[in-house]
Structure 1
Amino acid sequence: MLEEVERWLADRSWSVADRPVHRLLAAKRATGQTVSVVLPALNEEATVGGIVTAIRQELMLRVPLVDEIVVVDSGSTDRTSPAAASAGATVVHRDTILPRIPAVPGKGEVLWRSLLVTRGDIVCFVDADLREFSADFVSGIVGPLLTEPDVQLVKAMYDRPLGSAAGQGGRVTELMARPLLNLHWPRLAGFVQPLGGEYAARRSLLERLPFPVGYGVELGMLVDALHLVGLDALAQVDVGVRRHRHQDGQALGRMAAAIYRTAHLRLARGHLVRPALTQFERTGAGFEPRTHPVDTEERPPMADIAEYRSRRVA
């Protein structure tokens, strides 16, 4: 590991316990910063309401740390939107945001569009499939942004059990993202959960970043933020244990392909790579190939969008 990363781990890796909520509230009042929490959601009826309830009760009603909770529904066919709304979130459908640009499927697409329907100086992203959720996930990663003026982006770090096996979650992280980062961006090798969906950043940074539309968004954001603001502006906070719904092997393969493509674009833009992934399913006649497209489209920095710029002027 690079000496720079060892120093960074000592200086920019914290625990949620390092910043009690009363300290965060004092910093929030002193700086006047506002906080938005965004949950991208697709068919998360079973969990989204509980997450919204925990954040609202602990960080809005009990203490005024969070200013708004926005759930962006990307086309759920279950009761995700009613569940989120009844728990107290503002619910917005992806397709109603920036209708001039037709929406495409993908998590990154939803996160990018969320910048247009939130107001916070700090934007905190939380996946909507978390179980046994604690509001510490939010206060933990928002904390350094309220108390450390030089910090621009904060990732959550945590244990990720797979069933009863401790530390065995995050298979795409270990098999794809971590090798890529260590080989090509070794200054990012200190991130425990580089692909984790829980992170917070200053709006002033997010609006300058391109957003891969699919599962490459977390890796792309981390790499681009490194180049834009430097390693010392990035940080991570230990928030405990993350439990969520796990994907099957083929879905993980599609995620890995999208992440590899995101990395490749940043390593050598302009090279031709076939953006498709062929997987195999057993049928009565043997193994049948199934070819899936890999997300390659990215949205430009939100600061380049006329509707966003006009809203800021207004």
Structure 2
Amino acid sequence: MLEEVERWLAGRSWSAADRPLERLLEAKRQTGQTVSVVLPALDEEATVGAIVAAIRADLMTGEVPLVDELVVLDSGSTDRTAEVAAAAGARVVHRDSVLPRIPALPGKGEVLWRSLMVTGGDIVCFVDADLREFSAIFVSGIVGPLLTDPDVQFVKAMYDRPLETGQGPAPGQGGRVTELVARPLLNLHWPQLAGFVQPLGGEYAARRSLLERLPFPVGYGVELGLLVDALHTVGLDALAQVDVGVRKHRHQGGQALGRMAAAIYRTAQLRLARGHLIRPRLTQFDRGENGFVPRTTAVDTEERPPMAEIPEYAERRAA
């Protein structure tokens, strides 16, 4: 298995600089492929506008019109996320307006799944809306292999991920859930995926024809679920990763990371042993006036079916 991973790393891991923008634009023209970029957003007014503006300036309205569609999928923000995104030039869609027949559930995976219903690109690129010092290379880098290599189906971004501390950034210390939960799970149970540097990263692109066949965990487990299911659907050689530099974003606290870890573990568990599994709960502790107070929350376990099974989606695609 180690030899297979090393072979994959040699043949399916690239730098964004390996594919200049001019080459990507020519490939897009020759193949006729279209590209949709989706930003799932929940209370991201501080960062979403700059991301939208950068994508529009560098990849839509300038000399390299690589992106055909830019959508911010608002997951119920209570701040000015929708207003800021629209002012920057994005089309803003509220989660609850998509497939109203199916009541929406909270979670990132939910809005990613619904985004397939309101976008039309042959290639769909997801980008988190909390990135700081954003560069459009996060988009061009990961759509590049899909535009230039017909054998590639799914591409993850890889990057350095410093952890912001009171003493400044700590290189290589970001991605705590990746190192403590996701990487051990993948190495133990799906060793073919051990070569992915950022398996939980929120920046990835895939062919619509693949995404519409995959189930989407509604919450934090969506990245692991899609990666594992893509492996089983199209095989390792159809997966790739591209180095896009450094990713800076808002880091979550320890308890939020605990909930994320539980959801990711549950997503892996469901794929390892689908059957009679109890609905899990996670107990965490806050300090109160009289000591530690337990707080128990359900671990999100819902998954949406492949979008290709949804009648409204089939009708829209046929039209």
TM-score, normalised via structure 2 length:
0.98
Equivalence for 1:247: 252
Structure 2 residue aligned with 1:287: 292
In the TM superposition, what is the alpha-carbon distance from 1:271 to its structure 2 partner?
3.6
Q: State the partner residue of 2:76.
A: 75
Q: Does 1:262 align with 2:267?
A: yes
For 2:183, the equivalent position in structure 1 comes to 178
3-state SS of 2:121 partner? coil
Paired position in structure 2 for 1:197: 202
| Superposed CA RMSD | 0.6
Secondary structure in structure 2 of the residue aligned to 1:187: helix
Q: Cα distance, 1:313 vs. partner?
A: 1.1
Could you tell me how far apart the structure 2 residues matched to 1:64 and 1:225 are?
A: 28
Aligned residue type for 2:236:
L
Report the counterpart of residue 142 of structure 2 in structure 1.
Answer: 141
Q: Is the 8 A contact 2:156 2:203 kept in 1?
A: yes
Contact 2:40 2:129 in 1 (8 A): yes
Tell me the percent identity: 83
| Contact 2:279/2:301 (8 A) holds in 1 | no
Q: What are the within-5 Å matches in structure 2 for residues 212-223 of structure 1?
A: 212-223=217-228
Cross-structure match for 1:119: 120
Shift of 1:2: 1.5
Structure 1 residue 242 displacement after superposition: 0.2
What's 1:207 paired with? 212
Cα distance in 2 for partners of 1:11, 1:149 equals 14
Aligned partner of 1:250: which letter?
Q
Shift of 1:185: 0.3
Aligned AA (2:101): R
Look up the match of 1:64.
65
Question: Following TM superposition, by how much is the alpha carbon of 1:176 offset from its aligned partner in structure 2, in angstroms?
Answer: 0.3
Asked whether the 8 Å contact 2:262–2:282 carries over to 1, the reply is: yes
Measure how far apart 1:312 and its partner are. 1.1
C-alpha offsets along residues 174-218 of structure 1, whole Å, 9 cap, x if unaligned? 000000000000000000000000000000000000000000000
Match of 1:119, SS state, is: coil
2:235 to 201, 226, 230: 230
Q: How many Å apart are 1:61 and its aligned residue?
A: 1.2
1:57 alignment partner AA: A
What is the distance in 2 between the residues matched to 1:96 and 1:294? 25
Name the structure 1 match of 2:110: 109
Deviation at 1:274, TM superposition (A): 3.9
Which residue number corresponds to residue 42 of structure 1? 42
What is the deviation of 1:256? 0.2
1:33-61, Cα deviation, whole Å (9 max, x unpaired) = 00000000000000000000000000001
CA distance in 1, matches of 2:65, 2:130: 25
How many residues align structurally?
314
Post-superposition offset of 1:273: 3.4
Report the residue type matching 1:306 in the other structure: P
* Letter aligned with residue 130 of structure 1: L
Structure 2 residue ranges without an equivalent (≥5): none
- Aligned equivalents of 1:228, 1:132: Cα separation in 2: 35
SS in structure 2 at match of 1:116: helix
Equivalence for 2:172 = 167
The equivalent residue for 1:30 is: 30
CA distance in 1, matches of 2:77, 2:277: 34
Alignment of structure 1 residues 9-24 onto 2, 5 Å:
9-24=9-24
Question: SS of 2:270's equivalent?
Answer: helix
CA distance in 2, matches of 1:194, 1:225: 12
Task: Extract unaligned runs of 5+ from structure 1.
Answer: none
Q: CA deviation at 1:270?
A: 0.9
Query: 1:83: how far off?
Result: 0.3
Structure 1 residue matching 2:219: 3-state secondary structure: coil
* Shift, 1:272, TM fit: 1.9
User: TM-score when scaled to structure 1?
Assistant: 0.99
* Counterpart check, 1:272 vs 2:277: yes
Residues in 2 aligned to 1:280 and 1:129: alpha-carbon distance in whole angstroms = 27
Helix, strand or coil for the counterpart of 2:25? helix
